[in-house]
């Protein structure tokens, strides 16, 4: 594993994974991965299909807990606190580490209620007007406000695919997370909607730590500051995006990036 | 004997047509280039067989209706037939007797007049049997030859046979629908007769139910046929008490099974629940009448309610609710399981707990399906008979006290139809009116429920 930390290391690590392995039953899907996720930057996970990107991403907010056969070994810290320790409240953790999925999954509720969902369950808003404010702010940050401000009562599922995905991002933002995990957030979208999502990720980068899984090299190159290349459950190389794409140190990374890998 | 005989002929000739068609098709298939033959030999064979057998079978049905009429006319036209008495009943007896002897199912006649009719019956039967068989065979032969002559390499036998198969399937599905209409028609007929005697207003809005099968049928007392207490009893037992039991228990077991139970545990519990649905309702009836009802009465007396009846609406409703649990839970289970897993993950990823996710995302998303399931369950409960027959009473009380005896529409139908009354007495006919109302209500409930469920399914397609 090659890890380079020569980019501006003013970026302190928001999350720190050490020797993480994940098993599905007896099968090892992630093998001994260690990585630092910097705060206020975008980190991209790339790698061939089935190499374990989603699996590793899900360990970061313990969504693997919902898979009965999944088992995680190793250490993952959020601001120095082990998220797999018995003292960690998963509900609290997921409020701090939000997630956006590959397929937009708005709840079959109104646009307003989709956004208000998180703040309500976490008791963030103290009243209706504060809730309204959060909804507006979240939609604005997700770049969706102008498109939906007159139809907040309509069902979230009635939006277009790209709008739905931005709604899901807005929903994640609404609880004011510190980290946002995105698993191929644009893979189900057309190029225009994709461009909007990328723009949005760019906007959000200064505020949150963002981790994005993507199959598109161009997307990784465009939006991320750091890139990690995964292969067969191992993290092969991790470093500044520019360097990974122009001058990878590992042969396998180079093969994958230049498309020589299957 | 002639229709069955014609059917046999249809089968035999059909087989012959099938073999002939296949032989011809095989011959030309072998000779032709593979792409030239549009259908495989089997299709050509079926094409001929269908043209031979189906019209003949239809003719057999038609003939079985037609030939008795023709035979009787033949017999009546003979001199002996014209001497028959006019009076319907006697005339029919003589005719039937003569026919029975002619057929050989009776040894000898009792009525002298019938004796002269036996011979004409024999002649007529023979004559029309010959005509039927002759015509049938001729028709089958002509159609068969025509079909046989049509099959050639370029002939699209496959399409035509497929169409015939489709028609057959359509026919099969129509049977169930037509039966429903048949039931409805017979109900409507008797209901109309009933409403000729008792006004629908008295029936639908009257509050006193006390039909007297021994009263004079010509002077029906409309004020004895107020069905409101029955409707109320039905709703109170089937739609209120039973649902108060079935909805929460069914929902909770569905939630447990879909969200909490381990796959192995679910594999045990789910079939066990579904076995509940297979218990004969009469067994529930025993349970309600012999165990639950006395228990409720004793409990009520223990807390100082002295007038508690041993046949309470509560007992019937509770047991019915238990019976309905599997319906509610399996519909709710399906609906919750049909909510995409991504919805649940989305909620959990927001930091919602499992129960928050169930309450705020899964159940609202599954609600239409659940509502549909509950409506189906209600329609099942209000049509349920055995439990209430055994555990509820026949006293038509209009009361909101669940400890009191009450009766339902189905109980009254059973009581009225198994009673002494004659079949044109309004008391008996009122059973049909009750059945009609029940039929319409359950039909409407099922209709709405299925639509709701369907719309729900579409939402996640
Ligand atoms: N729920 C699960 N149960 C068992 N095995 C799983 C499960 N999810 C993933 N796996 C296995 O773990 C390995 C990694 O899967 P993962 O979904 O993390 O890959 P990925 O890199 O995200 O692939 P893709 O790019 O196709 O999304 C694969 O071999 C996969 O078959
Ligand atoms: Mg993946």
* pLDDT tens digits, one per residue of B332-347: 988 888 888 899 999 9
- State the pLDDT at residue B446: 87
Distance between CA atoms of B378 and B245, rounded to whole angstroms?
A: 12
- State the pLDDT at residue B145: 93
Q: Is the CB of A59 under 6 A from ligand 1?
A: no
* pLDDT tens digits, one per residue of B414-460: 888 887 767 778 888 888 999 999 999 988 988 888 888 777 766 66
* pLDDT band (50, 70, 90) for residue B16: very high
Distance between CA atoms of B244 and A188, rounded to whole angstroms?
A: 45
Report helix, strand or coil for A237. strand
* pLDDT tens digits, one per residue of B60-102: 989 888 888 888 888 888 887 777 777 667 777 778 888 888 7
Distance between CA atoms of A92 and B350, rounded to whole angstroms?
A: 9
- State the pLDDT at residue A43: 95
Report helix, strand or coil for A56. helix
For residue A66, give the nearest of B348, B360, B361 by CB distance. Answer: B348
Q: Is the CB of A246 under 6 A from ligand 1?
A: no
Pick the CATH number of B222-460 from 3.50.50.60, 1.10.10.410, 1.10.3720.10, 2.60.40.290: 1.10.3720.10
B106-121: b or e for each residue (b if 16 or more CB lie within 10 Å)? beebeeebbbbbbebb
Which of the ligands is closest to the CA of residue A51?
A: 1
Instruction: Judge: A95–B346 Cβ closer than 8 Å, yes or no.
Output: no
Residues of B engaging A, defined by a Cβ cutoff of 8 Å = 262-263, 340, 342-353, 356, 360-361, 364-365, 459
Instruction: Judge: A63–B346 Cβ closer than 8 Å, yes or no.
Output: no
Which strands make up the sheet holding A81-82, listed edge to edge? Answer: A27-38, A13-24, A70-78, A81-82
pLDDT at B171 over 60: yes
Distance between CA atoms of B455 and B402, rounded to whole angstroms?
A: 36
Q: Is the CB of A53 under 6 A from ligand 1?
A: yes
The atom of ligand 1 lying closest to the CA of A56 is: 18
Instruction: Judge: A66–B345 Cβ closer than 8 Å, yes or no.
Output: yes
Distance between CA atoms of B326 and B373, rounded to whole angstroms?
A: 10
Query: How many Cβ atoms from other residues are within 10 Å of residue B430's Cβ?
Result: 29
Show residues of chain A in contact with B352, CB under 8 Å.
Answer: 91, 117-118, 121
* pLDDT band (50, 70, 90) for residue A242: very high
What are the respective helix, strand and coil percentages of chain A, to the nearest 5? 35, 25, 35
Q: Domain segments of chain A: what residues? A: 10-257
The atom of ligand 1 lying closest to the CA of A52 is: 18
Which residue CA neighbors atom 12 of ligand 1 most closely?
A29
pLDDT at B201 over 80: yes
* pLDDT band (50, 70, 90) for residue B216: confident
Show residues of chain A in contact with B262, CB under 8 Å.
Answer: 68
Average pLDDT, chain A: 90
- State the pLDDT at residue B417: 85
CA B118 vs CA A234, B93, B131, B237: distances in Å:
100, 13, 20, 61
For residue A61, give the nearest of B342, B349, B353 by CB distance. Answer: B349
Nearest to A99 by CA among A38, A185, A207, A226: A185
Nearest CA in chain B to A58: B349
A54 touches chain B (CB under 8 A): no
Residues B275-298, mean pLDDT to the nearest whole number: 88
Residues B273-289, mean pLDDT to the nearest whole number: 87
Report helix, strand or coil for B138. helix
Show residues of chain B in contact with A99, CB under 8 Å.
Answer: 349
Report helix, strand or coil for A75. strand
Mutate to test the interface with B, among A57, A59, A91 (most CBs of B within 10 A): A91
Nearest CA in chain B to A93: B351
- State the pLDDT at residue A261: 59
Which residue CA neighbors atom 16 of ligand 1 most closely?
A52
Which residue CA neighbors atom 25 of ligand 1 most closely?
A49
Q: Which residue has the higher pLDDT, B229 or B114?
A: B229
Nearest to A213 by CA among A17, A59, A18, A3: A59
A93 touches chain B (CB under 8 A): yes
Residues B50-54, mean pLDDT to the nearest whole number: 92
How far is the alpha carbon of A6 from chain B, nearest alpha carbon, in Å? 33
* pLDDT tens digits, one per residue of B226-238: 888 889 989 998 8
Distance between CA atoms of A43 and A51, rounded to whole angstroms?
A: 17
Q: Is the CB of A55 under 6 A from ligand 1?
A: yes
Show residues of chain A in contact with B461, CB under 8 Å.
Answer: none
Instruction: Judge: B351–A105 Cβ closer than 8 Å, yes or no.
Output: no
* pLDDT band (50, 70, 90) for residue A9: low
Instruction: Judge: A117–B345 Cβ closer than 8 Å, yes or no.
Output: no
| Choice from A21, A33, A50, A230 to test ligand 1 binding pocket (greatest atom count within 8 A of CB) | A50
How far is the alpha carbon of A260 from chain B, nearest alpha carbon, in Å? 34
Q: Is the CB of A54 under 6 A from ligand 1?
A: yes
Q: Return the DSSP state at B263.
A: H
Q: Which residue has the higher pLDDT, B384 or B308?
A: B384
Query: How many Cβ atoms from other residues are within 10 Å of residue A106's Cβ?
Result: 26
**How many angstroms separate the alpha carbon of residue A85 from the centre of ligand 2?**
26
* pLDDT band (50, 70, 90) for residue B41: confident
Q: Determine what percent of chain B is predicted with pLDDT higher than 70.
A: 96
* pLDDT band (50, 70, 90) for residue B118: confident
Lowest mean pLDDT among B146-150, B264-268, B402-406: B402-406
pLDDT at A128 over 70: yes
- State the pLDDT at residue B459: 65
Residues B203-214, mean pLDDT to the nearest whole number: 84
Instruction: Judge: A91–B352 Cβ closer than 8 Å, yes or no.
Output: yes
pLDDT at B394 over 80: no
Instruction: Judge: B342–A103 Cβ closer than 8 Å, yes or no.
Output: yes
How far is the alpha carbon of B57 from chain A, nearest alpha carbon, in Å? 55
Nearest CA in chain A to B343: A105
Q: What is the largest CA-CA distance in chain B?
A: 98
* pLDDT band (50, 70, 90) for residue A5: low
Q: Is the CB of A108 under 6 A from ligand 1?
A: no
Show residues of chain B in contact with A95, CB under 8 Å.
Answer: 350-351
The atom of ligand 1 lying closest to the CA of A184 is: 27
B319-349: b or e for each residue (b if 16 or more CB lie within 10 Å)? bbbbbbbbbbbbbbbbbbeebeeebbbbbbb
* pLDDT band (50, 70, 90) for residue A11: low
Show residues of chain A in contact with B346, CB under 8 Å.
Answer: 101, 105-107, 168, 171
How far is the alpha carbon of B351 from chain A, nearest alpha carbon, in Å? 4
Distance between CA atoms of A201 and A60, rounded to whole angstroms?
A: 19
Which residue CA neighbors atom 6 of ligand 1 most closely?
A24
Domain A10-257 has CATH 3.40.50.300: yes
Instruction: Judge: A101–B351 Cβ closer than 8 Å, yes or no.
Output: no
* pLDDT tens digits, one per residue of A167-201: 999 999 999 999 999 999 988 788 888 888 898 89
- State the pLDDT at residue B71: 87
Q: Is the CB of A24 under 6 A from ligand 1?
A: yes
Q: Determine what percent of chain B is predicted with pLDDT higher than 90.
A: 24
Q: Which long-range contacts (CB under 8 A, 24 or more apart) does B282-287 make?
A: B282/B386, B282/B390, B284/B319, B284/B320, B284/B322, B284/B323, B284/B386, B284/B387, B285/B319, B285/B386, B285/B387, B285/B389, B285/B390, B285/B391, B286/B390, B287/B319
Nearest CA in chain B to A118: B350
Nearest CA in chain A to B368: A108
**How many angstroms separate the alpha carbon of residue A56 from the centre of ligand 1?**
9
Which helix or strand (DSSP H or E) is residue B76 part of?
A: helix B41-77
- State the pLDDT at residue A26: 92
Q: Which residue has the higher pLDDT, B40 or B141?
A: B141
């Amino acid at each position: 594993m090659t890890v380079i930390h020569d980019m501006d290391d003013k970026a302190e690590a928001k999350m720190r994974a050490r020797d993480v392995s994940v098993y599905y039953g007896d099968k090892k899907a992630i093998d001994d991965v260690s990585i630092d996720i910097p705060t206020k930057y975008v980190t991209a996970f790339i790698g061939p299909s089935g190499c374990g990107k989603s699996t590793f991403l899900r360990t970061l907010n313990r969504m693997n807990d919902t898979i009965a056969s999944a088992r995680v070994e190793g250490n993952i810290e959020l601001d120095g606190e082990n998220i797999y320790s018995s003292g960690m409240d998963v509900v609290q953790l997921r409020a701090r580490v939000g997630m956006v999925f590959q397929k937009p999954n708005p709840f079959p509720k109104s646009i307003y209620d989709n956004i208000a969902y998180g703040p309500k369950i976490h008791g963030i808003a103290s009243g209706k007007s504060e809730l309204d404010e959060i909804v507006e702010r979240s939609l604005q940050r997700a770049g969706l406000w102008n498109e939906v401000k007159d139809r907040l009562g309509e069902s979230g599922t009635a939006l277009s695919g790209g709008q739905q995905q931005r709604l899901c991002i807005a929903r994640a933002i609404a609880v004011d997370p510190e980290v946002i995990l995105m698993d191929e957030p644009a893979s189900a979208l057309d190029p225009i909607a994709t461009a909007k999502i990328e723009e949005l990720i760019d906007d959000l980068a200064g505020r949150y730590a963002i981790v994005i899984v993507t199959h598109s090299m161009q997307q990784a190159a465009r939006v991320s500051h750091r890139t990690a290349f995964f292969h067969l459950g191992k993290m092969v190389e991790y470093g500044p995006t520019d360097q990974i794409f122009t001058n990878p140190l590992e042969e396998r990374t180079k093969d994958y990036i230049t498309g020589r890998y299957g | 004997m002639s229709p069955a005989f014609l059917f046999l002929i249809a089968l035999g000739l059909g087989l012959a047509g099938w073999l002939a068609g296949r032989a011809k098709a095989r011959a030309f298939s072998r000779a032709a280039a593979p792409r030239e033959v549009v259908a495989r030999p089997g299709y050509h064979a079926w094409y001929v067989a269908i043209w031979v057998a189906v019209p003949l079978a239809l003719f057999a049905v038609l003939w079985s209706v037609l030939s008795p009429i023709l035979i009787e006319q033949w017999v009546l036209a003979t001199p002996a037939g014209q001497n028959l008495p006019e009076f319907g009943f006697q005339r029919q007896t003589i005719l039937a007797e003569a026919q029975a002897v002619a057929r050989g199912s009776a040894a000898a006649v009792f009525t002298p007049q019938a004796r002269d009719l036996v011979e004409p019956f024999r002649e007529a039967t023979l004559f029309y049997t010959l005509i039927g068989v002759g015509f049938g065979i001729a028709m089958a032969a002509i159609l068969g030859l025509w079909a046989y002559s049509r099959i050639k390499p370029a002939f699209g036998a496959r399409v035509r046979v497929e169409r015939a198969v489709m028609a057959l399937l359509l026919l099969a599905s129509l049977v169930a629908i037509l039966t429903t209409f048949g039931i409805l028609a017979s109900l409507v007929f008797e209901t109309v007769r009933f409403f000729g005697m008792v006004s629908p207003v008295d029936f639908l809005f009257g509050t006193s139910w006390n039909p007297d099968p021994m009263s004079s049928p010509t002077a029906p007392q409309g004020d004895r046929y107020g069905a409101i207490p029955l409707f109320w009893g039905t709703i109170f037992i089937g739609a209120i008490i039973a649902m108060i039991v079935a909805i929460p228990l069914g929902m909770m077991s569905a939630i447990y099974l879909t969200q909490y139970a381990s796959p192995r545990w679910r594999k045990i519990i789910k079939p066990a629940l579904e076995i509940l649905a297979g218990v004969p309702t009469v067994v529930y009836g025993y349970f309600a009448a012999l165990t639950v009802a006395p228990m409720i009465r004793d409990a009520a007396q223990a807390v100082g309610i002295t007038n508690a009846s041993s046949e309470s609406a509560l007992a019937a409703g509770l047991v019915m609710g238990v019976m309905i649990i599997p319906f509610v839970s399996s519909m709710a289970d399906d609906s919750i399981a049909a909510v995409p897993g991504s919805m649940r993950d989305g909620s959990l990823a927001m930091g919602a707990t499992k129960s928050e996710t169930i309450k705020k995302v899964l159940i609202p998303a599954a609600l239409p399906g659940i509502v549909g399931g509950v409506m189906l369950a209600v329609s099942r409960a209000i049509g349920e008979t055995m439990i209430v027959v055994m555990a509820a009473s026949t006293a038509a009380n209009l009361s909101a006290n669940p400890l009191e005896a009450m009766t339902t529409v189905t109980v009254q139908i059973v009581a009225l139809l198994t009673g002494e009354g004659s079949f044109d007495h309004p008391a008996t006919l009122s059973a049909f009116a009750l059945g009609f109302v029940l039929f319409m209500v359950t039909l409407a409930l099922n209709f709405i429920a299925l639509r709701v469920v369907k719309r729900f399914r579409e939402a996640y397609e």
